[in-house]
């Protein structure tokens, strides 16, 4: 069944059009029976699932027409209401208490202050994880908070035509959203709202002090794959390819439970008869993942659609080339996948990739993936891009912003690159309770 779903969503263009037609019929039904916001979100499903850029452009035009007709902020409030229906009262109270009781690292460690308000200058804070955006807008009085802060939102998955992103239209703003996928960047820009995209993503904030080469360690694994135990990570695709490959590679799988368990994944490997070729690791700390990467010849990512995968950047910092599936997310060619850092596995070509791995890796023997990443995709560069957006906001909206931002890292939760920043920000965290609803 899952192969059939993948074929329809990602591989067959004709069936993708059939799926779009089905969604359009559902859109007409929802518009007649429910409401405008609910109907627009069906168009969002078309945007996220189609293989055709022209259909995404048409979906975006449809949203813009609705914003013009009904009012952008009003629609944003409807999206927030729809997204908020998935929140429990207890979860909101818990997050509110964390702001009052935990003077630093509140909001499940998904909120970080990058610069404090200073005089007539706004401060900057960042919220991580798409699922927390609606909670943030619900817990805080955004009109009051936006007088003193510019909020930066760091999504955890691609496909921004979604109520968890569109609820940001309800904020008087300005706000900033990370958008490293070109398609999502264009989408946010096209809204012509008070949401400013910045070309950076959640996987830009890897700590190069944790993920780093450890010298000439012996290579125990041909391949490592760091992926939660989940269907969309497509472990089964690797197992199937291994069962067909002439060369039986030694592979390390690192994960943690996420709708599936380690036992579920092991059962799939057992089904294909190649369980003995895999070592399974669960819940490893960052330092041990780095050690494992250093003992591997390369890292692979096999998901067809997800967010901004951090492990591929971690692998590069550790000095190993990284290979991802061709057509990942919107199918764009990523700058950070190049002749110095790794490459693409063609659709249907995983078995031949496994067989040809020795020849493929010869191309990267004298390359430095970590050096390229450090110079092009790093916390310092992401911070500088945020600073540039703050300058743009200051210029366009005649507001002053404290752009002396602290550099942050995801380890995997947000932290400061400089631990002393927690002391410098202590008073600002204490003052956050003044913005609660």
How many residues can be counted in the chain? 437
Ordered DSSP codes for 190-241: HT-SSEEEES--GGG---TTTS---SS----BSEEEE--B-GGG-HHHHHHH
Domains of the chain, residue spans: 2-70, 79-205+379-435, 223-376
State how far the Cα of 303 lies from the Cα of 328, in Å rounded to an integer: 7
Q: Which CATH number fits domain 223-376: 3.40.50.2000, 3.90.1660.10, 3.40.50.1860, 1.10.10.60?
A: 3.40.50.2000
Which tens digit of pLDDT belongs to each residue from 54-81? 888 998 988 888 888 888 999 999 999 9
Tell me the C-alpha to C-alpha distance, in Å, between residue 396 and each of 172, 193, 197. 15, 13, 14
In order along its 437 residues, the chain shows pLDDT tens digits of 666 667 666 667 788 888 888 888 888 888 888 888 898 999 998 898 888 888 889 989 888 888 888 889 999 999 999 888 888 889 899 999 999 887 678 899 999 999 999 999 999 999 999 999 999 999 999 999 999 999 999 999 999 999 999 999 999 889 999 999 999 999 999 998 899 999 999 999 999 999 999 988 999 999 999 999 999 999 999 999 999 999 989 999 999 999 899 999 999 999 999 999 999 999 999 999 999 999 999 999 999 988 899 999 999 999 999 999 998 888 888 999 999 999 999 988 999 999 999 999 999 988 899 999 999 999 999 999 999 999 999 999 999 999 999 999 998 889 999 999 999 999 999 999 999 99
Element (H, E) at 428: helix 426-431
Q: Kind and range of the H or E element at 370?
A: helix 369-376
Residue with tokens 């743009």: 392
């Amino acid at each position: 069944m899952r192969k059939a779903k993948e074929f329809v969503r990602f591989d067959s263009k004709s069936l993708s059009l059939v799926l779009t037609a089905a969604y359009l019929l559902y859109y007409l039904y929802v518009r007649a029976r429910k409401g405008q916001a609910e109907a627009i979100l069906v168009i969002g499903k078309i945007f996220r699932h189609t293989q055709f850029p022209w259909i995404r452009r048409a979906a975006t035009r449809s949203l813009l027409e609705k914003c013009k007709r009904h009012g952008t902020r009003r629609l944003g409030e409807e999206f927030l209401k729809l997204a908020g229906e998935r929140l429990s009262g207890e979860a909101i109270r818990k997050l509110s208490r964390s702001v009052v009781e935990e003077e630093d690292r509140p909001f499940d460690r998904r909120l970080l202050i990058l610069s404090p308000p200073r005089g007539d200058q706004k401060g900057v804070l960042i919220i991580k994880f798409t699922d927390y955006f609606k909670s943030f807008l619900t817990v805080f009085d955004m009109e009051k908070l936006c007088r003193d802060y510019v909020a930066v939102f760091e999504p955890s998955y691609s496909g921004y035509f979604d109520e968890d992103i569109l609820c940001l239209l309800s904020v008087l703003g300005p706000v900033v959203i990370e958008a490293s996928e070109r398609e999502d960047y264009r989408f946010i820009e096209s809204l012509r709202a008070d949401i400013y995209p910045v070309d950076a993503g959640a996987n830009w904030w890897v700590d190069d002090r944790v993920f780093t080469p450890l010298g000439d360690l012996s290579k125990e694994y041909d391949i490592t794959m760091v992926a939660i135990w989940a269907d969309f990570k497509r472990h089964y695709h690797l197992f199937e390819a291994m069962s067909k490959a002439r060369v039986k590679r030694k592979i390390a799988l690192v994960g943690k439970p996420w709708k599936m368990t380690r036992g579920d994944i092991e059962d799939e490997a057992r089904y294909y008869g190649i369980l003995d070729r895999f070592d399974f690791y669960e819940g490893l700390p960052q330092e041990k993942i780095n050690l494992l990467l250093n003992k591997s010849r390369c890292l692979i990512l096999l998901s067809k659609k997800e967010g901004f995968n951090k492990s591929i950047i971690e692998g590069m910092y550790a000095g190993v080339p990284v290979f991802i599936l061709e057509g990942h997310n919107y199918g764009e060619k990523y700058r950070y996948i190049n002749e110095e850092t790794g490459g693409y596995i063609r659709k249907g070509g995983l078995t031949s990739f496994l067989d040809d791995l020795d020849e493929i890796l010869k191309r990267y023997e004298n390359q430095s993936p970590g050096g390229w990443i450090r110079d092009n995709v790093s916390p310092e560069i992401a911070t500088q891009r945020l600073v540039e957006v703050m300058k743009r906001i200051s210029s366009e909206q005649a507001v002053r912003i404290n752009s002396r931002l602290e550099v942050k890292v995801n380890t995997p939760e947000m932290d400061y690159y400089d631990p002393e920043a927690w002391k410098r920000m202590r008073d600002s965290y204490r003052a956050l309770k003044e913005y609660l609803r």
